[in-house]
A and B are shown apart, each in its own frame.
Chain A
Amino acid sequence: MASILRKNIGWLAIVILSLLPVIRWAMIIPLNYRFFDLTMTMTSVGQITGLVGMAMFSISMMLSGRERFLDMNFGLDKVYKNHHVVGAFSFTLLLFHPLFLAVKYIQFSLRDAALFFLSSDNWALNYGILSLFLMIVLMVLTFYIVFRYQYWKFFHKFMVVVFVFAMYHTFYISSDISRDDILRIYVLSLAALGFSFGFYRAFLSRFFDEKYQYVIKKAIEIAPGVMQIDMEPKNRALSFNPGQFIFIKFIGKSISLEEHPFSISSAPSLNNLQLIIKSLGDYTNELKNLKEGDMALVEGPFGRLSYLNIENKNQIWIGGGVGITPFLSMARSLKNDGYKIDLYYSVKIKEEIVFLDELSNMSAVDKNFRVIPWYANEKGYLSASAIYELSGGLRDKDIFLCGPPVFMDSLRGQFRKLGVKKGKIHLEKFNFI
């Protein structure tokens, strides 16, 4: 029971914070008045959607940053996932908010209801309308229009403006919030927190977040479409756990100044940082232009995908394609301290595999570290049952997955079907878009 609580504490916190305003709302006026007749019920639902929607909007803003506290406790990928879900949910609630409130006016005339939707001299209402309209535009851009990440990111920052308009509406409109001190203080606090985090992340973080400066020593192609980048710290070196990732911005000719996340492939004990990057899109293609001497700005480390975070030393590591990167760092950190590792390295064709020699050497020296390369064109897709056979069962083993989302989802599903508990499967998924 306690462990279930601990695992879901993030979700629980979000749900509780979002529902607290409803509890207070229910205390202000007896519920039988709130749900007196159909019109009052619709109005009450409209009020509740507004309250919960605004609370969730605030929480979503709080989850938009890279706060170390959140990453250390939940993992940055999960923080972003929650940001998406909470944000989308708040949007849905806020869409229904004016619809339910309009019922009160429809009761008298459709014209009054229509006027409710259009702006008037009521600026508190106008800001609400503006805020929702702008939110719709930005959400359509987020969910339905596909374009380059950097442009989407620029537009998404306008959510801060949406939030400010929403705050104006929330606190100036005549409502339960304006009539009840406790409710107002609570919603205001949540909103203030949300605004601070969101504003910092959107506009200030680039100036204040700690960045490590690195110099490129080597940038070479080690396999078709796969680059190895070795970097030396200019001043301070980043310290990290094997398996973690960084956000990096390269400063070089013909390379966009965008910032992207990559797992670190080198061992933490080294001063120099190594990245293995596969050409997957516009940006990663540009990296071919990197030269020795170019600079890079590194932010991090982030991520909770590390073999060190798990007590169980019996582990199966499964890397698909360039997903081998975090496992390289982990393998290079193994120090004969009792870990029994089966590393499955799956690629489509033999030519794609990298560092197999180094991994095989490690395996030769450490009998508790086995490397099993898997060429999909020869043996078909790597499957959970194959792993079950080759590793002598999955009982009492913790499984780490890293690779393309489809690869990870498929294997995770197969492992679950074989009876592996959810808590024993560890992966990090980046749906930054």
Chain B
Amino acid sequence: MKRIVGISLFVFWAVTVAILVAGLVFNQNNAPDISVADPNLTSTPEATPEATPGITVTPVPSPSSSPGMAFSPTPKPTLAPTPKPTLAPTPAPTAVPMITLDIAEIAKHNSAADCWMIIGSKVYSLASYLNAHPGGSAIIKMYCGKDGTAAYTALPHSPYASSLLPSYFLGNLNQKIKAK
């Protein structure tokens, strides 16, 4: 028993130190203000263990793109709670380009970097949420550009989970919205 404990302790410290050193010492080129939109890394201190997940989090899509971040590589601004400067030139006030959130349009946004999804006849842009998803990012990626309603309802999504959706809302299905 002592031997198993000893080996486990050794492995634990070896891996932990390796990660800490590699992650902090050798990764200086990562922008220091990276906020990872993950409920397990940032939260408000007043967490309570209700029937729904206890930690309230305002998911913050990464404000800046930096090399090496897998989930937000393009400078394309995504929908965010705070207004972001757009990189495209401001369109002339009278002619605002519009797109229709129909199936064809949604299907164009079918990658992890640009992931639009239909859930219950509403359309969401989930690229910045992928790595925060408790069920993993892979399963969301499966439905990028598609209708994920069936999967969403089949798998347990609590009221808390549903409360996160509005932050990623683009528009209703077939609604005309401003082009991004």
Interface residues, chain A, with chain B CB atoms under 8 Å away: 28-30, 33, 36-37, 39-40, 43, 84-85, 88-89, 91-92, 95-96, 98-99, 102, 104-118, 120-125, 136, 139-140, 143-144, 171-174, 178-181, 184
Q: Is the CB of B12 within 8 A of A173?
A: no
* Least CB separation from A47: chain B residue: B134
**CB of B2 closer than 8 Å to a CB of A:** yes
**CB of B15 closer than 8 Å to a CB of A:** yes
* Least CB separation from B158: chain A residue: A179
- Contacts A95-B12, A179-B156, A179-B158 hold; do A174 and B1 have CB atoms under 8 A apart? no
A289 CB to closest chain B CB (Å) equals 35
Q: Is the CB of A111 within 8 A of B4?
A: no
Q: Is the CB of A178 within 8 A of B53?
A: yes
**CB of B104 closer than 8 Å to a CB of A:** no
Q: Is the CB of B5 within 8 A of A29?
A: no
The 6 closest A-B pairs by CB, nearest first: A114-B23, A110-B23, A40-B136, A95-B12, A92-B8, A111-B27
Residues of A within 8 A of B27 (CB): 109-111, 114
- Contacts A36-B139, A84-B1 hold; do A109 and B68 have CB atoms under 8 A apart? yes
Number of interface residues of B (CB under 8 A): 50
* Least CB separation from B39: chain A residue: A174
Q: Is the CB of A139 within 8 A of B39?
A: no
**CB of B22 closer than 8 Å to a CB of A:** yes
Interface residues, chain B, with chain A CB atoms under 8 Å away: 1-2, 4-6, 8-9, 11-12, 15-16, 19-20, 22-24, 26-27, 30, 34, 36, 39-45, 47-49, 51-55, 68-71, 131, 134-139, 155-156, 158
B57 CB to closest chain A CB (Å) equals 8
Contact of B42 among A95, A121, A144 (CB under 8 A): A121
Contact of A172 among B47, B51, B139 (CB under 8 A): B47
Contact of B22 among A114, A123, A181, A184 (CB under 8 A): A114
Q: Is the CB of B134 within 8 A of A122?
A: no
Q: Is the CB of A121 within 8 A of B138?
A: no
* Least CB separation from B26: chain A residue: A110
Q: Is the CB of B19 within 8 A of A110?
A: yes
With contacts A88-B1, A121-B43 known, what are 9 further pairs, Cβ within 8 A? A36-B139, A88-B4, A91-B8, A96-B11, A108-B131, A113-B19, A122-B43, A123-B47, A173-B54
Residues of A within 8 A of B1 (CB): 84-85, 88-89
Count: A-B pairs, CB below 8 Å:
155
- Contacts A36-B138, A84-B1, A92-B4 hold; do A113 and B23 have CB atoms under 8 A apart? yes
Cα distance, A180 to B44, chains bound together (Å): 21
B26 CB to closest chain A CB (Å) equals 8
Residues of B within 8 A of A104 (CB): 131, 136
From A92, A111, A180, residue with most partner B Cβ within 10 Å: A111
Q: Is the CB of B54 within 8 A of A109?
A: no
Q: Is the CB of B9 within 8 A of A122?
A: no
Q: Is the CB of A143 within 8 A of B5?
A: yes
Contact of B23 among A115, A143, A144, A180 (CB under 8 A): A115
Q: Is the CB of B22 within 8 A of A110?
A: yes
Q: Is the CB of A124 within 8 A of B54?
A: yes
Contact of B12 among A30, A33, A40, A96 (CB under 8 A): A96
Cα distance, A221 to B36, chains bound together (Å): 72
Cα distance, A184 to B155, chains bound together (Å): 19
Residues of A within 8 A of B5 (CB): 88, 91-92, 139, 143
Cα distance, A362 to B149, chains bound together (Å): 86
Contact of B155 among A29, A88, A139, A180 (CB under 8 A): A29
B69 CB to closest chain A CB (Å) equals 7
* Least CB separation from A112: chain B residue: B36
Q: Is the CB of A178 within 8 A of B138?
A: no
Q: Is the CB of A39 within 8 A of B45?
A: no
Q: Is the CB of B53 within 8 A of A174?
A: yes
Cα distance, A333 to B136, chains bound together (Å): 68
Q: Is the CB of B16 within 8 A of A117?
A: yes
Cα distance, A37 to B138, chains bound together (Å): 8
Cα distance, A174 to B53, chains bound together (Å): 6
Cα distance, A117 to B23, chains bound together (Å): 10
Residues of A within 8 A of B44 (CB): 121
A274 CB to closest chain B CB (Å) equals 36
Cα distance, A120 to B44, chains bound together (Å): 11
Q: Is the CB of A111 within 8 A of B42?
A: no
- Contacts A28-B156, A172-B54 hold; do A116 and B41 have CB atoms under 8 A apart? yes
Residues of A within 8 A of B71 (CB): 108
- Contacts A109-B69, A111-B30 hold; do A99 and B12 have CB atoms under 8 A apart? yes
Q: Is the CB of B136 within 8 A of A36?
A: yes
Q: Is the CB of A111 within 8 A of B24?
A: yes
Cα distance, A111 to B42, chains bound together (Å): 15
Residues of B within 8 A of A96 (CB): 8, 11-12
Cα distance, A115 to B2, chains bound together (Å): 31
Residues of B within 8 A of A37 (CB): 136, 138
* Least CB separation from B22: chain A residue: A110
Q: Is the CB of B19 within 8 A of A117?
A: yes
Cα distance, A299 to B42, chains bound together (Å): 50
Contact of B2 among A110, A143, A171 (CB under 8 A): A143
Q: Is the CB of A106 within 8 A of B19?
A: yes
* Least CB separation from A92: chain B residue: B8
* Least CB separation from B47: chain A residue: A172
A180 CB to closest chain B CB (Å) equals 8
Cα distance, A6 to B46, chains bound together (Å): 48
- Contacts A143-B5, A174-B53 hold; do A108 and B23 have CB atoms under 8 A apart? no
Q: Is the CB of A123 within 8 A of B45?
A: yes
